[in-house]
Structure 1
Amino acid sequence: MFVVLLKFAANRADAPRHMDGHNAWIRQGFEDGVFVLAGSLVPGVGGAVLARGEPREALEARVAADPFVKEGVVSAEIHQIAPGRTHEGLAALLA
């Protein structure tokens, strides 16, 4: 399981220009079954994605393809989580 942090970078002002492509990238991640949660970092400093089901190298390539990352709107950090305990309601995410 991975947490992807997308923090606004120097080119933040270009976000509206690349929003459609970024939203399509998020949609594709959900359609592929890799993204299980996406949302904003509060207060307005970027976004985060919870991802699973593909190797780190594949996720790194996926993240690099995000128009926000490609255009320098955000910088990306990928953190891997090795779950030790999980609420029973989240067990399906780890299957």
Structure 2
Amino acid sequence: MFVVLLTYTAPRQEIDYLLPDHMEWLASQYEHGHFVASGRREQHLGEVMVAKPMSRGKLDALLAADPLALAHYAHYEVVEFSATRTCPELRLLNEALAR
């Protein structure tokens, strides 16, 4: 799995202009089953997204298609981890149980 820390790199007005396109892109990631959770970081600094297990290359390609990335309005820090403990609702994502 991946935790993606998105940090805005443009003025808030420019970010706000692209947010509807970004939200449409985000909805598409949920529709395709790529993301588990997402939300805005405090003080409008950016967002946090949690992605399901996939290849790093696939995740990088998904993030590169984000309208915020295409406009160079965001920086993405990706943290990869193996989910070995989960709440019951996320049991299907528990990589230790999948073995």
Q: TM-score, normalised by structure 2?
A: 0.83
**Within 5 Å, which residues of 2 pair with 1:1-95?**
1-94=1-94
Could you tell me whether the CA contact under 8 Å between 1:7 and 1:75 is conserved in 2? yes
Deviation, 1:54, is 2.1
Deviation, 1:78, is 1.1
Larger Rg: 2
Could you tell me whether the CA contact under 8 Å between 2:2 and 2:78 is conserved in 1? yes
Bigger RCO of structures 1 and 2 (CA < 8 A, at least 6 apart) = 1
Q: Which runs of 5+ in 2 are unaligned?
A: none
What percent of counterpart residues are identical?
Answer: 32
Could you tell me whether the CA contact under 8 Å between 1:2 and 1:80 is conserved in 2? yes
Equivalent AA in structure 1 for residue 73 of structure 2 = V
**What root-mean-square deviation, in Å, do the aligned CA atoms of Structure 1 and Structure 2 show?**
1.7
Q: Secondary structure of the equivalent of 1:90?
A: helix
Equivalent AA in structure 2 for residue 48 of structure 1 = V
Q: Which runs of 5+ in 1 are unaligned?
A: none
